[in-house]
Amino acid sequence: MSTESRPTSNEAAFERAQRVTPGGVNSPVRAFRAVGGTPRFIRRAEGAYLWDVEGQRYIDYIGSWGPMILGHGHPAVLDAVIQAARNGLSFGAPTEAEAELAEAIIAQVPTVEQLRLVSSGTEAAMSALRLARGATGRPKIIKFEGCYHGHADALLVKAGSGLATFGHPTSAGVPAEVVQHTLVLEYNNVAQLEEAFALHGPQLACVMIEPIAGNMNFVRASLPFMSRLRELCTQHGALLIFDEVMTGFRVALGGAQSVYARQIPGFRPDLSVFGKVIGGGMPLAAFGGTRDVMAQLAPLGPVYQAGTLSGNPVATACGLATLREICRPGFFDALSARTRQLAEGLQAGARAAGVPLVSECEGGMFGFFFADTLPQNYSAVMASDKDRFNRFFHAMLERGVYLAPALYEAGFVSAAHSQADLDATLQAAAEAFKA
Ligand code: KE4
């Protein structure tokens, strides 16, 4: 164990980390490469706040990229985690808590009859993809530009040239053969959907989509697009997979699918992927769907999927305690109202400063763009004013407000964010718009 004294500055911590970890981080977005500057090394968090190694406090709108919907250090969650840890960190054998968590998720998501717990959103999305291919016996899949489903090889793909050709890897180390069956379409583009299904329908295993794309900051799938997507999947026997790792239990108790089901009668995905909130900040994710599709999974069926720490008792206890709290009456009404107040406040503040900014929100998730209109796809997101976003990001950081360090990332409000926190945030924004 290194005897090096604990760094007293973010720069020192970053230099130390870069000596032993690529880029000094264990996940690229944390390195601030999109916004520049030195990442903040966090020493502790409580409620709506983070403190870095210099003792600087930040109002936290990342919330670990979504999981911390209750805020940091919720007493009921901490108690559950400590109790579970005392009973044993991991057994490699089934526990009742895994069934209890599955029941709690299924109770809120009627389209899921059975699910499997895994340790990350990547693992859940990768497994759902394999299941769709195994259940349909088909090789080809569709995803959308700007949607992120974790870093499984088959999903690290950018659009090919035209719909007759398949995707190209977005990462080194992914052979072209691995992505030859992945077609990448433009989000919200109905014409491309029609053409892709006309060309490849009988070979399509699934379409995977972020129903509200938080990896494009905040872009909703339009109702016509989502309706047509559902129709085409049904018509051609392809499974519709909702990647709700970010939106699940975040935009609504029933996830984004409950928002679409309210607007499109009878709407349902065939498989759903969850993560983040259901783990409450611990490594836990899930994928689920109808009993007959899930029955294709080992040990019942031919689709293999496994994990040493799947359904880990401590992570499961953390997720269960989190879900219990967010299921309380009025939780989402209060969270949604606070999030909307923030989103609308940002837009009003920008307007008062003569700065073009549009914002959107659903439940406890929000986004904003330095643009005149809400982007509907990835190209439009990337056409928003990146330089102004980066200046705004740093001006807010200097004023103790920690936003997502990239213009294509969403923001998250927790139940711990007070009215005073929102007022302070909007006050900082009024100054930062002038940066
Ligand atoms: P993880 O493997 O990072 O647990 O989940 C992958 C994933 C899958 N699907 C969606 C919709 C996701 O948003 C994610 C992960 N989200 C990113 C934030 N954009 C996590 C942050 C990071 O990569 O460090």
What is the per-residue pLDDT across 190-236, written as a single tens digit (0 to 9) for each?
999 999 999 999 999 999 999 999 999 999 999 999 999 999 999 99
Q: What is the pLDDT of residues 347-389, one digit of tens each?
A: 999 999 999 999 999 999 999 999 999 999 999 999 999 999 9
pLDDT value, residue 158: 85
Using the mean position of ligand 1's atoms as its centre, give its distance from the Cα of residue 431 in Å.
31
Three-class secondary structure assignment of 23-92 = HHCCCHHHHCCCCCCCCCCEEEEEECEEEECCCCEEEECCHHHCCCCCCECCHHHHHHHHHHHHHCCCCC
Mean pLDDT taken over the chain: 96
Share of the chain above pLDDT 70, in %: 97
What pLDDT was estimated at residue 8? 82
Atom 19 in ligand 1: residue holding the nearest Cα: 215
Two tokens, residue 333: 């009404």
Residue 163: per-residue pLDDT: 67
6 band by pLDDT with thresholds 50, 70 and 90: low
pLDDT surpassing 70 at residue 7: no
Q: What is the pLDDT of residues 126-138, one digit of tens each?
A: 999 999 999 999 9
148 within ligand 1 shell (Cβ under 6 A): yes
Indicate if 260 belongs to the active site: no
The structure tokens listed for 306 are 């496994």
Name the nearest CA neighbour of 273 among 128, 372, 174. Answer: 128
Q: Is 187 a catalytic residue?
A: no
> For residue 173, how many other CB atoms are within 10 A of its CB?
8
Give yes or no for a contact between 58 and 49, defined as CB atoms under 8 angstroms apart. Answer: yes
Beta carbons of 415 and 334 less than 8 angstroms apart: yes
Confirm or reject: Cβ of 408 under 6 Å from ligand 1: no
What confidence tier does 31 reach under pLDDT thresholds 50, 70, 90? very high
CA angle 152, 157, 158 (to 5 degrees): 160
pLDDT value at residue 4: 55
**Is 276 a residue of the active site?**
yes
- pLDDT tens column, 77-115: 999 999 999 999 999 999 999 999 999 999 999 999 999
> Could you tell which of 120, 215, 287 is best to mutate to test the pocket of ligand 1, judged by most ligand atoms within 8 Å of the CB?
215
Nearest CA owner, ligand 1 atom 15: 150
Question: Which is catalytic among the residues 52, 60, 243, 421?
Answer: 243
